[in-house]
Each structure stands twice: as C-alpha cells, then as structure tokens.
C-alpha cells in the first residue's frame, strides 16, 4: 500500500470513530505511524484529507457493495447481496463510516462549497444505489416506481443497520435482515 493510502486508511478509522471535528491531525499521523508534518506532503489540509478519504472510501465501498453481484442477478438477489456486503464492510471497517458522511456538510465551508459538495456527493450516493433499481426496471422486473425513492428506502435501511452496529448491537443474522429488507421493498407491506 502506498503512503497516501496508508494515511487515508488511518484517517478513515479515526474520522469514523470520532467525527471530523474531534479528530486531530496528530492522531491520524500516530495511527498511520508517520510524522505530523508528512500529512501535509500528501494533502493540502485537514479538509482535503477528509474529502479525499471520504471519496476513496466511497469508491471502495461501492466496489465492495457490488461484490459477487452479476449482471443476471434478479433485483431480489441484488439487494440481498447488497445487504450482506454492506454488513460485511461494516464489520471490516469496525465502524459505521457512513455516519461520518453526514459530517460533510458540517465542516466549515462556504455556502457555495456545501452546495457543490452536496450536489456531487448526494448525487453520487443516490445514483449509485438507484442504479440497481433502474436496471431492474429496464429488465421489466419492477413497476413504474420512483427509483430514487427506492434508493432512499434502501439507504434508510442500511443506515438503520449501521446505527444498530454503532450502538453496539451485533448483527446476528445478516441473511434474515437481508430477506426482510428485500421482501419489504419488493412486495410492500399491505396484506395482499
């Protein structure tokens, strides 16, 4: 792993555990096992380190999220694998990094930057999740639903899982949760 990734990996851990404002550059350096000054050779400043770390994490997250999913998978299988993969990542990163993402808007930025960031980040996030629904719709599996909305449902559920983990709960049966989410998303809640 190159130095820059080493730093982002350390930063990910610390940011995720403490949030942006409670994370000290020195602690990141300590966790990375390097000197404080070295951070500034790779990143302009704290905000830059945070931003790059988040996008680096997201890239990895979305790649991992699609692990094992193949083109032909039904929407059911796709979501099911999403959940399993998500829980897997949660356990690996040992933290609910997703929670940090909300921090994004709380970093001191100008209104314009916040706006721009949200545009980019939210679009990025939602569109990534929407993708699967759009594909399924194209395959004719789905009714004419609002795919973005479905993405938000899914994100809400994943957030709920993350929060449970954050509170210290152990995910005993990922398969069951995956089934419940998929079932509810697919068939709705009303009795026939």
Q: Which residues bind a copy of itself (CB under 8 A)?
A: 18-22, 75, 99, 102-103, 105-108, 115, 118-119, 122, 126, 133, 140-143, 145-146, 148-157, 159-160, 163, 166-168, 180-181, 183-192
Nearer CB in complex with DNA: 106/127: 106
8-state DSSP, 181: H
Single out the residue of 31, 34, 69, 134 in contact with DNA (rule: CB under 7 A).
Answer: 34
Binding status of residue 1 toward DNA by CB under 7 A:
no
Locate tokens 């594909």: which residue? 135
What's the closest the beta carbon of residue 1 comes to a copy of itself, in angstroms? Answer: 27
Q: Which stretch binds DNA (CB under 7 A): 39-47, 69-77, 115-123, 133-141?
A: 39-47
Distance from the Cα of residue 51 to its chain's centroid: 14
Q: Measured from the CB of residue 102, what is the shortest distance to a copy of itself in angstroms?
A: 4
If binding is defined by CB under 7 A, does position 40 make contact with DNA? yes
Query: By the 8 A CB rule, do 180 and 159 touch?
Result: no
CA dist 138 and 169 (Å) reads 38
Picked from DNA, a copy of itself, none, the partner binding residue 35 (CB below 5 to 8 A depending on kind) is DNA
- For residue 30 the two structure tokens come to 């300590």
Residue closer to DNA by CB (options 36, 159) is: 36
Q: Please list every residue from 42 through 101 that binds DNA, using CB under 7 A.
A: 42, 45-47
Q: Does 25 bind DNA (CB under 7 A)?
A: yes
Q: Which residues of 151-185 are buried (b: 16+ CB within 10 A; e: fewer)?
A: bebbeebbeebbeebeeeeeeeebeebbeebbeeb
Please, how many CA atoms are within 13 Å of residue 10, restricted to the half-sphere of its CB? 22
75 binds, among DNA, a copy of itself, none (CB under 5 to 8 A by kind): a copy of itself
CB 7 within 8 Å of CB 43: yes
118 binds DNA (CB under 7 A): no
User: 44, exposed or middle or buried, with CB in 10 Å at 0-12, 13-18, 19+?
Assistant: exposed
Interacting residues with DNA (CB under 7 A): 3, 22-26, 34-38, 40-42, 45-47
């Amino acid at each position: 792993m190159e130095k820059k990734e080493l730093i982002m990996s350390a930063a990910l851990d610390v940011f995720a555990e403490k949030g942006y404002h409670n994370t000290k550059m020195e602690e990141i350096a300590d966790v990375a096992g390097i000197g404080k000054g070295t951070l500034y050779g790779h990143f302009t400043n704290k905000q830059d380190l945070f931003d790059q770390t988040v996008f680096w994490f997201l890239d990895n997250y979305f790649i991992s999220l699609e692990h094992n999913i193949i083109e032909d998978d039904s929407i059911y299988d796709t979501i099911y694998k999403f959940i399993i993969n998500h829980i897997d990542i949660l356990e690996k990163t040992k933290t609910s990094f997703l929670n940090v993402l909300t921090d994004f808007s709380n970093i001191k930025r100008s209104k314009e930057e916040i706006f721009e960031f949200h545009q980019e980040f939210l679009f990025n996030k939602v569109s990534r999740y929407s993708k699967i629904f759009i594909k399924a719709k194209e395959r004719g599996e789905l009714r004419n639903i609002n795919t973005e909305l479905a993405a938000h449902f899914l994100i809400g559920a994943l957030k709920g899982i993350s929060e449970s983990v954050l509170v210290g709960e152990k995910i005993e049966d990922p398969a069951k949760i995956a089934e419940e989410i998929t079932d509810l998303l697919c068939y709705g809640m009303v009795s026939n």
